Amino acid sequence: MHRTIHRNKWIKIFALLVVISVVLMGCGPEKPQETAPVEKEIPVTVEAVVRGNMEKSIPLGGLMSPREEVVLVSKNPAAKIIDAPVEVGDMVGAGTPVVIFDSRDLDIKLNQAQLDYQRTKDLFDLGAVPQSQMEQVENALENVKIQKENMVLTSPITGVVSSVSAVEGQLAGSTPLVTVVDINRLELELQVGEAYIKGLKEGQEMQVTIPAVTEKEFTGVITNIAPQIDIRTKAYPVTVEIDNYDQAVKGGMYGEVQLVVDRKEDVIVIPQYAVIDTEQGTAVFVVEEGQAKMKMVEVGLTLGNQAEITAGLKENEVLIVEGQYAVKDGTLVSPTLRGEEE
């Protein structure tokens, strides 16, 4: 009897502990309810798709040379130089003396030839000498006059003296004594490949860049296109001429033109770095209703940072130009117009 009472007592204590545990568990902090994660918007930079023109060009260059250059040599190698009144850099006009030779012997011959002519003419007028003798004396006089004229070397053009090798007291010899160049107009000879020569014509204007004269821009005109290829260069020589009346450009300076080899007008043009390569092909991302939308595109001409899109994009679509590698089709985005970034 005593054992039964004792066992019942422990059963009641155990039941009470169970109840207390349940109550304590029910009074603990509530378990938070699970909620769906909110998708984060990816910041991207965008710009509107526009149409424009594209030009692909290649640089062609060469040395600027005077349009006219004359090298003056004496017609009498034995003539003695008595004066060279010009220096390098001097401006000279047509007919300006540049080298003077000793003509004292010719002065004597000329005086004698003139006396012979006058005597013979007086006799010819009286009928005392034949026509043939009169003509012979006339020719002798003209010959001495020409020799006398050759004792002064003059510039046949207006230009700048570019070299002087004449030395007072020396014989003229057969080497160049003075060189005069006209640099009011300069020429640039280009070598153009056969693939591009058909796009050029005489009279066509081209912009010429002279790196040594950065403060000016020059517009050149094509004055000559060779009818035959140069077998040494495997290209066609093309001459471009520029005005240089202020003589800012000197002969021998380097000049360059940009030869347009491909041109596209009124086409969809986007930044080339906006284009990405995917397993499906070439694509871009645009923004539609706050989401990134992948579009497959076809790329035409590429030039620098520009790319022509021949299919897959329309004008005025909102193109992602920065952040495109951080999104995928359907990603929520927070677009910022290019140029308005903080």
Distance CA 278, CA 328 (A): 11
The yes-or-no verdict on residue 188 having pLDDT over 80 is yes
Contact in structure between 296 and 280 (CB atoms under 8 Å): yes
**Confidence at residue 26, expressed as pLDDT on a 0 to 100 scale:** 47
Cβ neighbours for 103, distance < 8 A, ≥ 6 positions apart: 148, 151
Q: Which CATH architecture describes the domain 58-65+182-263?
A: Beta Barrel (2.40)
What are the DSSP E strand ranges found in the chain? 42-48, 50-72, 81-83, 91-92, 97-101, 152-154, 159-164, 178-192, 205-209, 218-225, 236-243, 254-271, 276-277, 282-288, 291-296, 298-303, 306-311, 318-322, 333-337
**Confidence at residue 262, expressed as pLDDT on a 0 to 100 scale:** 82
199-220, pLDDT tens digit by residue?
Answer: 899 999 999 999 999 888 899 9
Cross-strand bridge partners of residue 222:
240
Q: What is the mean pLDDT of residues 29-33?
A: 51
Note the Cα 218 to chain centre separation in Å. 11
**Confidence at residue 10, expressed as pLDDT on a 0 to 100 scale:** 41
Domain definitions of the chain by residue range: 44-54+265-337, 58-65+182-263, 68-179
Percent of the chain with pLDDT over 70: 88
Cβ neighbours for 68, distance < 8 A, ≥ 6 positions apart: 157, 159, 181, 182
User: pLDDT band at 7, cuts 50/70/90?
Assistant: very low
Count how many Cα atoms sit within 13 Å of the Cα of residue 252 in the half-sphere of its side chain. Answer: 2
Q: Which CATH architecture describes the domain 68-179?
A: Beta Barrel (2.40)
Q: What is the mean pLDDT of residues 181-190?
A: 94
**Confidence at residue 215, expressed as pLDDT on a 0 to 100 scale:** 84
Q: Which CATH architecture describes the domain 44-54+265-337?
A: Beta Barrel (2.40)
Backbone angles phi, psi at 146, to 5 degrees: -65, -45
User: pLDDT band at 339, cuts 50/70/90?
Assistant: confident
| Structural tokens at position 285 | 């991302």
Q: Give the alpha-carbon dihedral of 66, 88, 245, 186, to 10 degrees.
A: 10
Distance CA 163, CA 176 (A): 9
**Confidence at residue 217, expressed as pLDDT on a 0 to 100 scale:** 87
222-275, pLDDT tens digit by residue?
Answer: 999 999 999 999 999 999 999 998 889 998 999 999 998 888 889 999 999 999
The yes-or-no verdict on residue 56 having pLDDT over 90 is no
Q: Give the chain's mean pLDDT.
A: 87
